[in-house]
Structure 1
Amino acid sequence: MQEPSLQHLNVGAPAGQNGAPRRMAYWDWPCTSGSTAHVVICVHGLARQGRDFDTLARTLTERARVLAVDVAGRGHSDWLADPMGYQVATYAADLVALVTTLRAEKRELVIDWVGTSMGGLIGMVLAAQPSLAIRRLVLNDVGPVVQWEALQRIGTYLGRNPSFESEQAAIDYLVSISATFGPHTPEQWRALSLPMLRERADRWWLHYDPALALPVKALVDMPDQEQARQAVRDGEAALWGMYDAITARTLLLRGELSDLLTQATANEMARRGPRAECVAFEGVGHAPTLMAPDQVAAVRSFLWSD
């Protein structure tokens, strides 16, 4: 079975006490035909990591090189010295560095983007910049409007730092907080969970910096909840501005049970800006994992269509 190689890119100011540049990790899946003319960048959700895209990547490598990123503070990427930097602006700057590097290596390069949840927000920021020339954009269960209740739900588990006595106990925990992903086989849950774990001192821990939750908690736990909601609305207005600036052909995927992306927002995204093509999946909430055959097929047909 094809496996990717782990690569790193220097993206920021020195991190840690040794003064080394901050590095962003990504999983590099070469095109099986040897072509280097087309790259698909895949970016995960808030508390996830790049190996979420293994199933999708294995099918896309028939025609393209696939780069599945570990966003700062997750997976094999460096943690930030200042946890309040764990925000979309930081992540977008890191990914601009990756796109710029790719274009420096090959000027006539086709770049597509697949972003789940947070990865979709990052993709919107980049796709709104004409100079980056993102050809096609897949937004997986995310749009300019993020439901307040979904943020509160995510805040209940994000940033906790549990450890587990066994690998299976850790997998069981991850499955318990991922029920909204929809039905998966035990083998699929295991594949989704193992890259999320790190073994230290005979215990299993989650893969990310617990401090990445601080910006979310600072918002959700604000004493003045109306002020917090206004901050969310201000952010939504900025995201709508970016969305309306996108000219790349856009596909919007939605779990029909999603508590983060409403049908009303999906309808508005189909009406304005790039007028996204919308595909919904039954029995799935936030967010489709792009492992089920119908989910993979939706992405493949969109990226490969004329």
Structure 2
Amino acid sequence: MSILSALSRWFSGPASAAFAECDVRCASAAGLHRMAYTEWGERDNPRVLVCVHGLTRNCRDFDRLAGALARDYRVVCPDVVGRGRSGWLKDPAGYGFPQYVADMMVLLARLDVEEVHWVGTSMGGLIGMIIASQPDSPVSRLVLNDVGPVITSESLRRIGDYVGKAPRFDSFADAEQYIRLVSAPFGALSDAQWRQLTESSVRRGDDGKWGMVYDPAIGEPFRQAYLLHQDVDLWPVYDAIRCPTLAVRGAQSDLLTADTHAAMGQRGPRAQLAEIADVGHAPMFLDDAQIAVVKGFLLEA
């Protein structure tokens, strides 16, 4: 990439920070794909924070959090394959945690660092849990945002009802109305915040209609899980984590129950616990109070 090309990829971001749009080439059984990511802060900062989004979301969810932490960290926010600016898999059967973990390890190799701190929302938290549970894990500090070792069947059904089934929209306003509906558990966001989330969630096609920025096929492997009509139990994974951990819960969450959240403070890494009032699945770290919860935990290291 030329210097001019590289400079052209820098943009203004929240909190007077800036980010670069980057990508790395990854492999699946069906071939190669590119995983996009945003990078904030100084590239020579040895302290690296990786922020990974939820099932149907993308890296731009972390703009506010990354902007707030860019002076302390080199912050890297990937678009998991099939989402955002990343490529789509040729074989939808590959949309699952083995592929996601493999792609993240390629990303960490690109960053050329020995250890990272990790913030993961929902699916991104599960990816972080899996990596952090491994011997010789590069994850040295972990934030699990509204996810834990038990995924309720109720939440699987709710998410399965809409993932990959979004219509195409005639207008941006129609798209925003849909985002507000399916993302209502995020809590009482401002009009500006809803607009920001919508802008990063949809793109306009050649036909003039607006569509979601994820491959609809990501929903197929997911729906196979909720067809079992039972909770997903990942306690052995959680119990193997050894790094300091913060478990954040939306007080109205149907994915991370109060009982599971409390138990996360008693076993495995004995996570510090935090709960965000008036939010379901999941807190979005768009306001100073929510950001302070994460920032305080990460920087106490």
TM-score of the two chains, using structure 1 as the length reference: 0.89
Q: State the distance in 2 between where 1:266 and 1:245 align.
A: 17
What one-letter code is carried by the residue in structure 1 that aligns with 2:214? Y
RMSD of aligned Cα (Å): 1.6
Which moved further from structure 2: 67-76 or 83-92?
Answer: 83-92
Provide the residue aligned with 1:178 in structure 2.
183
Of the three residues 226, 234, 249, the one matched with 1:220 is 226
8 A contact 2:149–2:238 mirrored in 1: yes
Mind listing any 5+ residue stretches in structure 1 that lack a counterpart? Answer: 222-227
Q: Report the Cα offset of residue 98 of structure 1.
A: 1.4
Mind listing any 5+ residue stretches in structure 2 that lack a counterpart? Answer: 1-11
Q: Is it true that 1:78 corresponds to 2:73 in the alignment?
A: no
For this pair of structures, how many residues does the alignment match? 285
Q: Is it true that 1:24 corresponds to 2:35 in the alignment?
A: yes
1:68 alignment partner, SS class: strand
- Where is the helix percentage greater, Structure 1 or Structure 2? 1
Of the three residues 6, 18, 21, the one matched with 1:6 is 21
Provide the residue aligned with 1:202 in structure 2.
208
Q: Report the Cα offset of residue 131 of structure 1.
A: 2.1
Of the three residues 48, 54, 57, the one matched with 2:66 is 57
Q: Is it true that 1:36 corresponds to 2:45 in the alignment?
A: yes
Q: Is it true that 1:273 corresponds to 2:268 in the alignment?
A: yes
Provide the residue aligned with 1:123 in structure 2.
128
TM-score of the two chains, using structure 2 as the length reference: 0.91
Mark the CA change 1:110 to 1:90 in structure 2 (over 3 Å): closer, same or farther: closer
8 A contact 1:49–1:74 mirrored in 2: yes
Question: What do residues 88-135 of structure 1 show as CA deviations (whole Å, max 9, x unaligned)?
Answer: 221111112212332xx34xx441000000000000011112323211
Which moved further from structure 2: 50-59 or 194-203?
Answer: 194-203
Aligned-pair identity (%): 44
Q: State the distance in 1 between where 2:28 and 2:143 align.
A: 30
8 A contact 2:28–2:99 mirrored in 1: no
Alignment of 1:103-252 (within 5 A): 105-106=112-113, 109-200=114-205, 201-221=207-227, 228-229=228-229, 232-233=231-232, 236=233, 239-252=234-247
8 A contact 1:35–1:64 mirrored in 2: no
Q: Report the Cα offset of residue 268 of structure 1.
A: 1.0
Q: State the distance in 1 between where 2:70 and 2:165 align.
A: 35
Runs of 4+ in 1 over 4 A off after TM superposition: none
8 A contact 2:81–2:100 mirrored in 1: yes
Q: State the distance in 2 between where 1:254 and 1:243 align.
A: 16
Q: Report the Cα offset of residue 192 of structure 1.
A: 1.3
2:203 alignment partner, SS class: strand
Question: What do residues 22-57 of structure 1 show as CA deviations (whole Å, max 9, x unaligned)?
Answer: 1111111123xx652111000000000000000000
Provide the residue aligned with 2:105 in structure 1.
96
Q: State the distance in 2 between where 1:292 and 1:164 align.
A: 29
Mark the CA change 1:50 to 1:141 in structure 2 (over 3 Å): closer, same or farther: same
